[in-house]
Amino acid sequence: MFGFGVLKGMSVTLWNFILSYVYPKKGITTVQYPEQKKEVEERFRNFPFLVYEGAPDNMRCVACDICSKECPPKCIYIIPEKDAQGRVQKKPATFDIDYAICMNCGICEEVCPFDAIFMDHEYELAEYERLSSLLYHKEDLLKPVEHFAKIRPTDYGRIEATRAAKGVKGRAQPVAGAPPKPAETQQSPPATS
Amino acid sequence: MNVEEIKNDLLKHVPGLELTVEGESFIVPKEKLLEAARFLKENEKYRMDYLSCVTGVDYLAQAARLGQPGQAAVGGQSELASGYLESVNHLYSMEKKHGPIVLKVRVPRSDPRMPSLVPLYRGAEYQEREAYDLLGIIYEGHPDLRRILMWDEFEGHPLRKDYVEEDQDIR
Amino acid sequence: MSDTAVHSQEPQLLEVSIGPQHPSTHGVFRMNVVLDGETIVKLKPVMGYLHRNHEQLAENMSYLASMPYTDRLDYICSMTNNFAYAMAVEKLAGIDVPERAQYIRVLMAELTRLINHTLLVGFLLNDLGAFFTPTLYAFREREKILDFFEATAGSRMMCNYFRFGGVKADLPAGGMEQVKEIVKNYSRFLDEFERLLTSNEILRSRCQNVGILSKELAVNASITGPILRASGVNYDIRKVDKYSIYDRFEFKVPLGKVGDVYDRYYVRILEMRESIKILQQLLKQMPEKGEILSAKGAAAAKSPRMWKPPAGDAYGRIESPKGELGFYLVSDGSPKPYRYHVRPPSFINITILEDMCLGQKVADAIVILGSVDIVLGEVDR
Amino acid sequence: METSESIFVVIKKAILGFFHGFLPDWTVVIISILISVTAIVIFGPVTMMFLTWLERKVVGRIQNRYGPNRAGIFGLLQPIADGVKMLTKEDIVPRAADKVTHFLAPVIVVIPALLVFSVLPFGRGMAAVNLNVGLLFFLAVSTMSTIAIFMGSWGSRNKFSLLGGMRAVAQMVSYEIPMVMSVVPVILVTGSLSMVSIVEAQLGGKWFVLTPWGFFGAIVFFLCGVAEVNRTPFDLPEGESEIIAGFHTEYSGMKFALFYMAEFMSAFAIAGLTATLFFGGWDGPLLPSWLWFLVKSYAMIFIMIWFRGTLPRFRIDQLMGFAWKLLLPFALLNIFVAALWQMLPAPKNLIVSGIAEAVILVIVFFASRKDSPKKRTYVFAD
Amino acid sequence: MDVLHNLARLGFFAATLVTLAAAVMVVTLRNIFHCALALILVLLGVAATYISLKAEFFAVIQILLYVGAIMTLVIFAIMLTSRIGDKTVLQNNRQGLMSFSLLALFNAFFIGSVIKTSWHLNPAAMTANVDAGVLGAAFMNEYVFPFEIISVVLIVALVGAIILGRSDQ
C-alpha cells in the first residue's frame, strides 16, 4: 500500500495551509466575532417585535388574537384593554411573548392581518435568568416603524404599498358601534414564574 | 395497476379471502394477511418486495361508527364498531418500480393482536415495534417485540386517542 | 459460536455500551456491544433519548403549524422535510403547485442534498480519525449554501419555507447570482475533496470490505437512499415516482457493486455531482417570473387554523438525502390531522446495523454507523 | 560568528570557572552535571508548551481558520492558560481504580521522555552526555514508556482504557523492531553507536538522507517513530472516535497534563533523532549549530502535525500488517543496500546501491499489492 | 577525586539495595500486576549495577531486552489470562518458618564458601574497556560457532511458539 494517495491528500492540506497565509481572503473563512460581525441577510428572522407609528401608544396591534392562536408553540399571550365601561378596546393591555419558547418560525408575521408584528434581526439577547427575563412584555416588544424600515427595506416597501392601496390610514378611531366580539382569552398563559 | 385488477388477482390466488376495497386500499382480515402479502411478494406480475411504511392508527368508537367520509362505515362487524386499531402497510416493488398497494388490517381495541410481517419483510421490525410502543398493537410472530422509543418501564401508549397523560408534577 | 475444544474455557466477553454520550454517534444513540477482544459478537442499538412525540404534537395543531416542526426532524436537511410534508398535504387536499414554485422547490431540495452528502463525508472521516479537517472543509462549503437559505427562507437551518401549494416567498434580489456562484465552484470543491480523500490508501483500507450489505438483505430490510444504491439496487424515488418536475431533468443514478462503507462514501460523492448537473439544467430552464403560491395554496395560507382539507388518507414520499422520507396523513375533515405519521429513512436504515457489524472490529462499528448516516432527530421523532 | 556558534558552551564554562575559584573540584563536576540537567528539565516542558501552541496553530491554518489568537499576541500565552487550567482542574480517581498503578503511571511515563533528551546532540559539543552507546540508550529508554502506558490503562479499571492499553502495547512492540532495524544501516556506516560520532560522520553536507539507503531508511524510521509516539495516523491507543480517549480516559487535571507532556516531548525527541541520524544533526552552512538542529527538528515536527491534520487512523490489524509485512522486510533489505554502499568505492557505490534500492522497492511493492486496497468502478443507471 | 569515587560506591550500594528490596517485593506483593512492576524494578536495578561497573553497553542491552521486550511479554501474559489481574493471591502460608530456616542454613554454606575461595583475578580483564565494537568482533571471530548455534535455537523456539500459540481455527 504505497502512499501516493496519501501524498496527494497531504498536498491539498499543504495548499490550504499556504493559502491561509498568502491569500487570507479566500484561505481564512472564520469571522472574529466580537470585533467583526457577519451582517445578517435582510430576510433573517429572529424574535418578533410589535410595530408602532409615532408614539408607542399608537401601536398597530388591535389585540385580535389571531397570532396567539396560530403560534405553533403557543408563546404569545394577549389581554385586550378595557375602557371605563368594561367594553373591550382594540388595543392590547398586556402582550407577552415568551422568547424562551418562541422558535422564530415567522408564522405570526404571516397571519397578522394588521401588519403589526414582524421578525427582528437582533440576535444578541443572552440573559442570566431563563424564566422571567426571557418573557418580554409589551413595553420591551414595541419598536418604531422606522426600525422595521431600516432592517427590512424591501418588505417595508411592499407592505407600505399594499397598505396604501387598501387605504389603511394609521390608527383607526375606535368604532362607535358594536365592539368587536371580545376575543376569548382561553388559551393558558405561558409558564410565568 | 388498477385496484380492480389487484382485487381479482388476490381473490383468485388466496383461497377463502374476503376483501373489501376502500378507496385505494384493501381491508384484509388478520387471518389472511400473511398469505396475501406472500402472494403479492412472490407473484411474478407484482413482485412487491419492498414494504415502505407500516403505520398504526387508532380509530375511536365515534370515529369508527360514523366512518370516515370516503371510507365505508364500519357498522358491519359488530365488535369493531366499539373502535379499532388499524395497521396500514404500504407495499412497493423495487424490481418493477410500480406504485403502492396499501393493505389495511383492523383489530378491535379490546384484543389488539395481529400477525407480524417480519417473517416476510425484515424492514417491518422497527416500525412494528414503534406501532406497539406508541399504539399498543401486538404483532404476533415478531422476533423481539418490546418498546423502542419510550423507556421500558413506561405504562400506556401515548398515541392512543384516549391516552390521558398523568400529571406527575401536581404542585 | 462454534463450541471450541473442551479445554479452552469460554472467551472473556467484554460488555461495552458505546453512547449515548459518545464522540461519534451523531447524537444521542447508544449501541450495547459485546466484544470478544476487539471483534463484535453482539450489537443492540438503543434509541429514544430524543423522542419528542412529534406525531402527537402534530395531531393537536393545524396543518401549517406543524410545518416548522418538520424542520426539526432531520435538522441537517430541513428543506427536504418541508418538501415531503407539503407534498403529502397537497396530495391529501389536491392542491396544485405553480411552475416557478416547482423549480424553486427542486432547487432547494438539490442544494440540501449537496449539504447533507458533504457533511456526511466530513463526519465519516471524523469517525475514521481525520482530525476535523474534512469536516471543516465541508462546513466551509455549506456556509455558502446556508447564506442563500438565510437570504430566501429567513433562517439558515430551520427554514420553514415551503407552504401547501408553493413556497412562502420568491427568491431575493441577488438570489439567482448567489446560486450560480455556488453551483459554479461546487464541482471545483468536490475535486479538491476527492483529491484529499478518494485515493487515500488509509481511507481505502479502512473502508473497503467493511460492513458489506447484500442486495437481497437491503431490499428485504426496506433500506432506502444512497446505502441501497451502494449495494447495487437501482431505486431512486426521483426516477420512480417522477414527483414534482424531476422528469424534466436528465441525470444518472450512481450504483455501487460491493455495498461496503467505501461504496457508500463514493456513491454519495457521485450523487453530489449528479445534483450539480440537475442544478445547472435547472438554472437554464427556470422561468424568470411567475407566481409562487397557487390559488388553493393562498386560500390555505390565509387562515391556517380554519383551513379544512377533505377527509381521507394520503401518503406522500420524496427522495430525501438519507432515503425515502414519507408522511402518512389521515384527515377527518377537521383543521387538525386525525393521524400524522412520519416514515423516517434513518430509523429504518439502522434495522440491519447489527448484521453489518457482526464480526467486525470496534473501530469498524463506529465507521459503519457513520456510513449509514443517521440523524437522531429523525430516528426518535 | 564564532561566539554565537558555541554560546551555550561558553556560558557553561564561565559558570564553572566562577565556581572553580573557591570550591573543591569534585563539587565543580557535580555542578556541571546539574547545569546540564537543569537545561534539559527546562528545555523539555518549554518545548512541549510551544509544541501544543504550534500544533493548534498549524492544524488551524490547514483548516482555514486562525487557531488560538486570543491569549497574548498570536495566542502565545495559550499554553500557559492551558497549564493553569490543567492545574486547577479536579483530579478524579475512579473508585474501582488500582490506586498505586493509577498514581504511578503518569509519573513513570515522563521519565523516559526526559531521559531521552540527555543523549540528543543539540549542537557542536552540546550533547549532555556523550554516551558511546547513545543510540541504543535512546531506543532502550523509549520502550519503557510502553510499560507506563499499560500501567495507566490497567490501573484505571475502565473497559475503554483497557482496550487502549492492549492496543498501545501491541503497537509499541510491533513498531520497535522495524525502528531498530532501520537504524542499523546508520550504525553500520558510521561504525559507532555514539550520536556525536554519527553527526560527525555526516559533517560537510554529506547527510545520510542523500544516499539511496538513507532516504528510504529515514522514511521508515520516521514512520516507526510516529507510531512509537502514538501520533496520527497511528494514534490508536487514544483513538478519540472509537474508544473515547484510550489509556488516558480516566485521567484529568495534572495527571492528564503529564501524559500529554510525555507524548509531546517524545515526539520532539523522535523528530530530533531523525534529524540527527539522517539529516546531519547540527551540521549546516551559515547558522550556528544548535539553530540548525532546531530548524531540522521543527521541520520534522511540522510533518508530524501535517500528518495529524490530514490522515485518518489505521485499524489495529492494518497497523500490525503495515509494521510486520511492509516496514520490517523493507528495513532488513535496506541494511544490505547500506552494506553495498559501504563496501564499494566512491563513484560506483552510489550507482550500485541506487539500483539495489530500486529493486527492493519493486519487490516490496509487488509483495504488498495483494492486500492493498483496489480501485473501484461504478455503474450509472438512468 | 576520591569523594566522587565514594559517591559512585554509594550509588552502587544504593542500586543493589533497591534491587534486593524489589526482589523481596516481587514475591510478597498480593496483586500479580504489582509483582510484575517490582520485577521491572529489579531488572532496572541490575542495569544500574552494570552502569556503575562501567559496562554501559550491557546496561543498555539489559534495559532494551529485559525491560523493553521480556517484561512487555510478561504483561501480555498477565493481560490475556482471564481475570488473573484482580484476584489477590494470599502470599503467606504456614510453612513460612520452616522454609525460612532452611533458607538461612543454605545461605550460611553459600556465603561461607564464597568468602573462602580465592578468586584469582585476571588483571588484564579488569581494565579492559569492553564496548560494542569489541563484542561484535568477538562474536564474529572466535565465538562465531556458538553464536550461530544460539540463533538456530532461537529460531526453533520462535517457530514452536507460533505453532503452539496459533489457536485452532
- C200–A6 CB contact, under 8 Å: yes
Say which of C4, C5, C12 has its CB closest to residue E82. Answer: C12
Going by DSSP bridges, is the β-strand pair C339-343/C323-331 parallel, antiparallel, or unpaired?
antiparallel
The set of cell numbers assigned to C362 is: 470496534
The three-class DSSP label of residue B88 is: strand
Q: Do the Cβ atoms of C211 and D320 come closer than 8 Å?
A: no
Rounded to the nearest angstrom, the minimum Cα separation between D333 and chain A is 17
Assess B128–C contact: CB distance below 8 Å, yes or no. Answer: no
- A6–D311 CB contact, under 8 Å: yes
Q: What's the rounded mean pLDDT across residues A173-178?
A: 41
Say which of C219, C223, C333 has its CB closest to residue B69. Answer: C333
Are residues E79 and E135 both part of a single domain? no
Q: Which amino acid is at C99?
A: E
Say which of A2, A9, A28 has its CB closest to residue D64. Answer: A28
Q: Which domain holds residue E22?
A: 1-83
Residue D273 to residues D9, D139, D199, D265, Cα–Cα distance (Å): 21, 10, 11, 12
Residues in contact with E166: Cβ distance below 8 Å, sequence separation at least 6, in sequence order? none
- Residue D372: list chain A partners with CB under 8 A: 1-2
The three-class DSSP label of residue A93 is: strand
User: Which residue in chain B has the smallest CA separation from C349?
Assistant: B123
- Residue B102: list chain C partners with CB under 8 A: 315
C-alpha D188: how far from its chain's center? 22
Q: Do the Cβ atoms of B129 and B145 come closer than 8 Å?
A: yes
pTM: 0.88
Q: What's the rounded mean pLDDT across residues D38-47?
A: 92
- Residue D151: list chain E partners with CB under 8 A: 37
CA quadruple D222, D228, D231, D234: dihedral sign: positive
Are residues E76 and E1 both part of a single domain? yes
- D319, D296, D314, D294: which is closest to D239 by C-alpha? D314
* CB contact residues (below 8 A), chain D span 309-368, against chain C: 309-318
User: Which residue in chain D has the smallest CA separation from C236?
Assistant: D382
Cβ neighbour number for residue D343 with a 10 Å cutoff: 11
- Say whether pLDDT at E91 is over 80: no
User: Which residue in chain C has the smallest CA separation from B64?
Assistant: C332
Q: Could you give the CA distance from residue B156 to residue B135 in angstroms, rounded to a whole number? A: 9
- Residue C220: list chain B partners with CB under 8 A: 49, 121-123
Q: Residue A50: what pLDDT?
A: 92
The set of cell numbers assigned to D73 is: 499576541
Are residues E1 and E77 both part of a single domain? yes
**Burial of residue D78 (number of CB atoms within 10 Å: 0-12, 13-18, 19+):** buried
Least confident interval from A161-175, D168-182, D327-341: A161-175
Name chain E's partners: 3 or more CB pairs within 8 A: C, D
Beta bridge partners of D121: D127
Q: Chains B, C in contact: 3+ Cβ pairs under 8 A?
A: yes
User: Which residue in chain C has the smallest CA separation from E169?
Assistant: C4
Q: Residue D224: what pLDDT?
A: 93
- Say whether pLDDT at A189 is over 60: no
Rounded to the nearest angstrom, the minimum Cα separation between E37 and chain C is 24
Interface-testing mutation among D63, D158, D242, with chain C (most C C-beta atoms within 10 A): D242
The three-class DSSP label of residue B56 is: strand
Q: What is the pLDDT of residues A78-122, one digit of tens each?
A: 998 888 888 888 888 899 999 989 998 989 998 998 889 999 998
Q: What is the pLDDT of residues B68-86, one digit of tens each?
A: 544 444 444 556 677 889 9
Q: Per-residue pLDDT tens, chain B, 171 aa: give them.
A: 788 888 888 888 888 888 888 888 899 988 889 988 999 998 888 889 999 999 999 888 766 544 554 444 444 455 667 788 999 999 999 888 887 899 999 898 888 899 999 999 999 999 999 999 999 899 999 998 989 888 888 888 888 888 887 766 655
What length is written for chain C?
381
Interface-testing mutation among C1, C6, C12, C39, with chain E (most E C-beta atoms within 10 A): C12
**Burial of residue A2 (number of CB atoms within 10 Å: 0-12, 13-18, 19+):** middle
Cβ neighbour number for residue E110 with a 10 Å cutoff: 10
- Residue E166: list chain C partners with CB under 8 A: none
- Report yes or no on E40 lying in a domain: yes
Residues in contact with D326: Cβ distance below 8 Å, sequence separation at least 6, in sequence order? A1, D364, D368
- C23–D244 CB contact, under 8 Å: yes
Name chain D's partners: 3 or more CB pairs within 8 A: A, C, E
Interface-testing mutation among C57, C64, C162, C191, with chain A (most A C-beta atoms within 10 A): C64
pLDDT bracket for residue D67 (50, 70, 90):
confident
Cβ neighbour number for residue C375 with a 10 Å cutoff: 24
Number of structural domains (chain E) is 2
Assess D21–E contact: CB distance below 8 Å, yes or no. Answer: no
What's the CATH code of the domain at E25?
Answer: 1.20.120.1200
Rounded to the nearest angstrom, the minimum Cα separation between C88 and chain D is 26
Say which of D26, D101, D140 has its CB closest to residue E1. Answer: D26
Q: Chains A, B in contact: 3+ Cβ pairs under 8 A?
A: no
Q: What's the rounded mean pLDDT across residues D237-264?
A: 80
Q: What is the pLDDT of residues D196-217, one digit of tens each?
A: 999 998 888 888 888 888 999 9
- E83–C9 CB contact, under 8 Å: no
Q: What are phi and psi of A79, to 5 degrees?
A: -125, 115
Q: What is the pLDDT of residues C82-101, one digit of tens each?
A: 999 999 999 999 999 999 99
Residues in contact with C289: Cβ distance below 8 Å, sequence separation at least 6, in sequence order? C100
Its ipTM equals 0.86
Q: Could you give the CA distance from residue C379 to residue D194 in angstroms, rounded to a whole number? A: 63
Assess D172–E contact: CB distance below 8 Å, yes or no. Answer: yes
Q: What is the pLDDT of residues C246-275, one digit of tens each?
A: 999 999 999 999 889 999 999 999 999 999
Return the percent helix, strand and coil in chain A, to nearest 5.
Answer: 30, 15, 55
- Say whether pLDDT at A55 is over 90: no
The three-class DSSP label of residue C338 is: coil
Q: H-type helices in B19-165, by residue range?
A: 33-42, 61-66, 78-81, 124-135
Cα radius of gyration rounded to whole Å, chain A = 24
Interface-testing mutation among C123, C131, C212, with chain D (most D C-beta atoms within 10 A): C131
Q: Which amino acid is at E95?
A: Q
- E69–D172 CB contact, under 8 Å: no
- A8–C199 CB contact, under 8 Å: yes
Q: What is the pLDDT of residues D104-152, one digit of tens each?
A: 999 999 999 999 999 999 888 888 888 888 899 999 988 888 888 888 8
Q: Residue D244: what pLDDT?
A: 66
Say which of A1, A12, A32 has its CB closest to residue D368. Answer: A1
Say which of A29, A43, A45 has its CB closest to residue C140. Answer: A29
Residues in contact with E121: Cβ distance below 8 Å, sequence separation at least 6, in sequence order? none
Assess A129–C contact: CB distance below 8 Å, yes or no. Answer: no
Q: Do the Cβ atoms of D98 and D157 come closer than 8 Å?
A: yes
C-alpha A176: how far from its chain's center? 33
- D63–C267 CB contact, under 8 Å: no
- Residue D309: list chain C partners with CB under 8 A: 131, 133
Q: Could you give the CA distance from residue D329 to residue D326 in angstroms, rounded to a whole number? A: 6
Residues in contact with C85: Cβ distance below 8 Å, sequence separation at least 6, in sequence order? C66, C67, C70, C162, C316, C327
Chain C residues in contact with chain B using a Cβ-Cβ cutoff of 8 Å:
47-48, 51, 53, 55-56, 217, 219-224, 233, 235, 240, 310-313, 315, 317, 324, 326, 328, 330, 332-333, 338-339, 341, 343, 347-348, 350-352, 380-381
Are residues E74 and E143 both part of a single domain? no
The torsion defined by the Cα of D167, D173, D178 and D184, in degrees rounded to 10, comes to 150
Q: What's the rounded mean pLDDT across residues C60-82?
A: 91
Chain D residues in contact with chain A using a Cβ-Cβ cutoff of 8 Å:
58, 61-66, 306-307, 309-311, 322, 326, 365, 368, 371-373
